[in-house]
Amino acid sequence: MSESHDLRLVENDHRYLWHPFTQMRAWLNDRPIIIERGEGNYLIDVHGQRFLDGVSSLWCNVHGHRKPELDQALIDQAKRIAHSTMLGLSNVPAIELGRQLIAVVPTGLKRVFYSDSGAEAVEVALRMAVQYWQLNGAAERKLFLTLTESYHGDTVGAASLGYSEVFHRYARPVLFPVLKTDPPLVFRLYRGLTAQDALAAALEAARALIERHREEIAALVIEPIVQGAAGMWTHPPEYLRQIVRLAREAGALVIFDEVATGFGRTGKMFACEHAQVTPDLLCLGKGITGGYLPLAATLATERIFNAFLGEPAEFRAFYYGHTYTGNPLAAAVAAANLKLFGDEAIIERIAPRIALLSRALDEEVATAPHVADVRQCGLMVGVELMRDVARGERYDIYRQMGTKVARAARNAGVLIRPLGDVVVLMPPLSINEAEIRHLVSAAGEAIRQVVAHDD
Ligand SMILES: Cc1ncc(COP(=O)(O)O)c(C=O)c1O
């Protein structure tokens, strides 16, 4: 691409666009990387420079970019129809995808409701839960229980559930109150308990809270095993099993948000398989299309679905939907994505790469100064930096350590995006051994450089 064309793109980006989660003043003073193409696990910018896609284009890419089977599915579907509505009609790819999804999700989930983003999948689940209780004569069940620092998206409902002071403080006046309980990591990392004591303390906190609101909880909403946007906060499967048991004993529904953890990211198709628990509602997004197109789904058990059945005049129907719900292009690609999981035995073949990632992290990242905690579950990694590891003292937020590390990694040809002082690595499932080594050594080197400079 010519220098003048590139300049024009930068100028037009700066003139016309407003980027998400971005302080635009800083953005306007910087020269952005502008992506033009993708190839396998690499993003290629307008100058032809290649970057390893270290966070799967915001945690959604699965098989790499330009995966021939997904490209083909998209082209084939485009030749038939790009979009028709699901309101009063159905379409071929949406039906086929529904069948395939029910075959791969945990047993008991029987119905698929489509939407367009992870936040919407969560919004749908919470609306279903609230309506479910009203339809069942228990309108007082309208509280949701979530984990501290959980993240479920940015619409008003999803932001209420996953309130984050940094992300959502200005929306606070319009958000609804939610019950929050601290997961084991809070007790272990920030309060100095052993892993075992932290688990016990977290469960006791959840038990006491649930007990206090026994009759009012509509649902427990939880990101199973890994709380992604919290900074890859992990909890042991036992925590998930027990908090689900406590919620169910109190009569509440259970909603799993697997928008980030679904589709193999934790080493199993769905993270809840680590604990062998099935929710009443399951939220999926991101990797559902292999990272190609906006599509999300909320899956429900027959118990939930049946509660909505009745005569039209009873108004039990779930009046909710978006224009592009069940979009045929997205559904066709998602169906091809699921087929690839079978054809290429993705889950069966991923364990050695997860183990290699773990070894590389031990050797090159855990040993770096100021690394307080390295959390890994499958191909989800969070490396927490602290100013004083021994004392558990965090860096001042204005130092933007995570951002600086991500910047430094760019020089080694790796694109990553941090969460505060947590350096996040979340490569596509298709990452190969050499690329894993490259990713981890670039991250380790970037951390060393940045912390040395900032000491
Ligand atoms: C667990 C979880 N839920 C929901 C969302 C929101 O998804 P989306 O950005 O597609 O609305 C995210 C996004 O990161 C997520 O990690």
Nearest to 444 by CA among 54, 57, 60, 59: 54
326 with 117: CB under 8 angstroms?
A: no
Is 153 a pocket residue for ligand 1 (Cβ < 6 Å)? yes
- Pocket flag, ligand 1, residue 285 (CB < 6 Å): yes
* Paired residues of 44 in beta bridges: 37, 50
- Is residue 118 within 6 Å of ligand 1 at its C-beta? yes
pLDDT in tens, 56-97: 999 999 999 999 999 999 999 999 999 999 999 999 999 999
Cα 422 to middle of ligand 1, angstroms:
18
Q: For 13-62, how does the pLDDT look when each residue is reduced to its tens digit (9 = 90+)?
A: 999 999 999 999 999 999 999 999 999 999 999 999 999 999 999 999 99
Alpha carbon distance 81, 206 (integer Å) = 49
- Residue 323 Cα to ligand 1 midpoint, Å, equals 20
Predicted confidence band at 3 (pLDDT cuts at 50, 70, 90)? Answer: confident
Domain residue ranges in the chain: 33-63+348-454, 71-343
Amino acid at the residue 202: A
Cβ–ligand 1 distance for 260 under 6 Å, the answer yes
If you measure from the C-alpha of residue 3 to the centroid of ligand 1, how many angstroms do you get, rounded to a whole number? Answer: 36
122 lines ligand 1 (CB under 6 A): yes
pLDDT tens-digit series, residues 289-310 = 999 999 999 999 999 999 999 9
Ligand 1: distance of its center to the CA of 119 in Å? 6
Could you tell me if 231 and 382 are in contact, meaning their C-beta atoms sit under 8 angstroms apart? Answer: yes
Query: What's the CA-to-centroid distance between 176 and ligand 1, angstroms?
Result: 19
| Contact status, residue 205 vs residue 183, Cβ threshold 8 Å | no
User: Tokens 């925590």 belong to which residue?
Assistant: 239
What's the token pair of residue 123?
């919004």
Q: How far is 172 from 154, CA to CA, in rounded Å? A: 12
Given ligand 1 and candidates 154, 272, 286, 293, which is best to mutate, with the most ligand atoms within 8 Å of its CB? Answer: 286
Higher pLDDT pick, 189 / 300? 300
Measure 315 CA to ligand 1 centroid, in angstroms: 31
- Which stretches does DSSP call E strand in 311-387? 371-377, 380-385
pLDDT given for residue 164 in this prediction = 87
Cα distances from 147 to residues 164, 335, 369, 398, 444, in angstroms, run: 11, 32, 30, 26, 30
Q: Which of 114, 152, 164, 324 to mutate to test the pocket of ligand 1 (most atoms within 8 A of CB)?
A: 152
Q: How far apart are CA 408 and CA 168, in angstroms?
A: 28
Q: Which atom of ligand 1 is nearest to the CA of 117?
A: 10
Multiple choice CATH, 71-343, 3.40.50.970, 3.40.640.10, 3.40.190.10, 3.30.420.240: 3.40.640.10
Q: What is the pTM of this model?
A: 0.97
Report the pLDDT value the prediction gives residue 1, as an integer from 0 to 100.
Answer: 66
Determine what percent of the chain falls in helix, strand and coil, rounding each to the nearest 5.
45, 15, 35
Beta-strand relationship, 217-222 and 143-147: parallel
Supply 285's token pair: 């997004």
Q: How many A from CA of 260 to the centre of ligand 1?
A: 6
Q: Which atom of ligand 1 is nearest to the CA of 59?
A: 14
Yes or no: say if 388 and 381 are a contact pair by the CB < 8 Å rule.
no
257 lines ligand 1 (CB under 6 A): yes
- CB of 57 within 8 A of CB of 43? yes
Q: Given this model, what pLDDT does residue 165 score? A: 87
3-state secondary structure of 373: strand
pLDDT band at 397 (very low <50, low <70, confident <90, very high): confident
Could you write out the DSSP letters of every residue in 239-292?
Answer: HHHHHHHHHHHTT-EEEEE-TTTTTTTTSSSSGGGGTT---SEEEE-GGGGTTS
Q: What CATH number belongs to 33-63+348-454? A: 3.90.1150.10
- pLDDT-based confidence at 166, cuts 50/70/90? confident
Residue 231 Cβ contacting ligand 1 at under 6 Å: no
- Token pair, residue 339, equals 């087929």
Q: How far apart are CA 75 and CA 402, in angstroms?
A: 39
CA of 48 to the centre of ligand 1 (A): 30
Instruction: Decide: 378 in ligand 1 pocket, CB within 6 A.
Output: no
- Give 65 Cα–ligand 1 centroid separation in angstroms: 20
DSSP 394: P
DSSP letter for each residue of 185-250:
HIIIIIT---HHHHHHHHHHHHHHHHHHTTTTEEEEEE--SEEHHHHSEE--HHHHHHHHHHHHHT
